[in-house]
Structure 1
Amino acid sequence: MGKKLNGRDLINLGFPKNNSINIALGQIHRYRKKEKKEAILAEAKEVLLSPDKFKSHGTWGKLAEGLIAPVVVRKQELEQTRAPFSIFGENEIDAVAKSQLFNALKLPVATKGALMPDAHSGYGLPIGGVLATDNAVIPYGVGVDIGCRMSLSVFNLPASYLKGKTDFLKGILSDHTKFGMKEVHAKKMDHEIFSRVEFKDIPLVKGLLDKAYAQLGTSGGGNHFVEFGVVDILEEVPASKLPKGSYLGVLSHSGSRGLGANIAKHYTYLATKQCPLPKNVQHLAWLDLDTHDGQEYWMAMNLAGDYAKACHDNIHYRIAKALGKHVALTIENHHNFAWKEMVDGKECVVHRKGATPAAEGQLGIIPGSMTAPGYIVRGKGNVDSLQSASHGAGRVFSRAKCKSNFTKSDMKKILKTNDVHLLGGGVDEAPMAYKNIETVMKLQEELVDVLGTFTPKIVRMSK
Structure 2
Amino acid sequence: MRNIKEDVTASGEIIALVENEIDYAIYGEEYIEEGARKQMDIAMKLPVSVAGALMPDAHQGYGLPIGGVLATRNAIIPYGVGVDIGCRMALSIFDIPGENYFGNEAKYKRELIAHTKFGAGQSFKGDERAEHAVLDSNEFGATRFLKGLFDKAYGQLGTSGGGNHFAEWGIIEFAERDEILNIEKGRYVALLTHSGSRGFGATVANHYTKLAKEPCRLPKEAENLAYLDLNSEAGMEYWIAMNLAGDYASACHEVIHERLTKAIGAEVLAKVENHHNFAWKETLNGEELIVHRKGATPAGKGVMGIIPGSMTAPGFLVRGKGEVNALYSASHGAGRQMSRKKAFENITREEMKAVLKAHDVMLIGAGLDEAPGAYKDINKVMAAQTELVNVVARFEPKMVRMADDGSRED
Q: TM-score range by the shorter chain?
A: over 0.9
- What are the residue-to-residue correspondences of 1:3-402 with 2, within 5 Å? 75-186=14-125, 187-237=128-178, 239-402=180-343
Deviation at 1:184, TM superposition (A): 3.0
> 1:154, 1:327 within 8 Å by CA — same for their partners in 2?
yes
Once residues 434 and 218 of structure 1 are traced to their aligned partners in structure 2, the CA distance between those partners, rounded to angstroms, is 25
Once residues 197 and 348 of structure 1 are traced to their aligned partners in structure 2, the CA distance between those partners, rounded to angstroms, is 26
Amino acid of the structure 2 residue aligned with 1:359: G
1:85-144 C-alpha deviation (Å, 9 max, x unpaired): 100011110011000000000000000000000000000000000000000000000000
Structure 1 unaligned spans of 5+: 1-72
> 2:176, 2:186 within 8 Å by CA — same for their partners in 1?
no
Q: Which is bigger in relative contact order (C-alpha 8 A, separation at least 6)?
A: 2
TM-score by length of 2: 0.94
Structure 2 unaligned spans of 5+: 1-11, 405-410
- Aligned to 2:278, the other structure's residue is in SS state strand
Deviation at 1:408, TM superposition (A): 0.7
- Aligned to 1:181, the other structure's residue is in SS state coil
Cross-structure match for 1:405:
346
1:174-206 C-alpha deviation (Å, 9 max, x unpaired): 111001134334511211111111111211111
Amino acid of the structure 1 residue aligned with 2:398: K
1:268-325 C-alpha deviation (Å, 9 max, x unpaired): 0010001000111100000000111101100100000000000000010110111111
Once residues 251 and 284 of structure 2 are traced to their aligned partners in structure 1, the CA distance between those partners, rounded to angstroms, is 29
- Aligned to 1:440, the other structure's residue is in SS state helix
The structure with the greater share of residues assigned to helix is 1
Amino acid of the structure 1 residue aligned with 2:54: L
1:136-187 C-alpha deviation (Å, 9 max, x unpaired): 0000000000000000000011000111111111111111100113433451
Deviation at 1:234, TM superposition (A): 2.6
> 1:74, 1:275 within 8 Å by CA — same for their partners in 2?
no
> 1:152, 1:332 within 8 Å by CA — same for their partners in 2?
yes
> 1:424, 1:462 within 8 Å by CA — same for their partners in 2?
yes
- Aligned to 1:141, the other structure's residue is in SS state helix
CA RMSD of aligned residues (A): 1.1
Once residues 256 and 361 of structure 2 are traced to their aligned partners in structure 1, the CA distance between those partners, rounded to angstroms, is 21
Q: % of aligned pairs identical?
A: 55
Cross-structure match for 1:59:
none
- Aligned to 2:68, the other structure's residue is in SS state strand
Once the two structures are overlaid, the 10-residue window that deviates more, 209-218 or 238-247, is 238-247
Larger Rg belongs to: 1
Aligned length in residues: 391
Amino acid of the structure 2 residue aligned with 1:445: T
- Aligned to 2:119, the other structure's residue is in SS state coil
TM-score by length of 1: 0.83
Amino acid of the structure 2 residue aligned with 1:92: Y
> 1:233, 1:246 within 8 Å by CA — same for their partners in 2?
yes
Once residues 261 and 418 of structure 1 are traced to their aligned partners in structure 2, the CA distance between those partners, rounded to angstroms, is 34
> 1:156, 1:242 within 8 Å by CA — same for their partners in 2?
no
- Aligned to 1:262, the other structure's residue is in SS state helix
Once residues 337 and 82 of structure 1 are traced to their aligned partners in structure 2, the CA distance between those partners, rounded to angstroms, is 23
> 1:74, 1:274 within 8 Å by CA — same for their partners in 2?
no
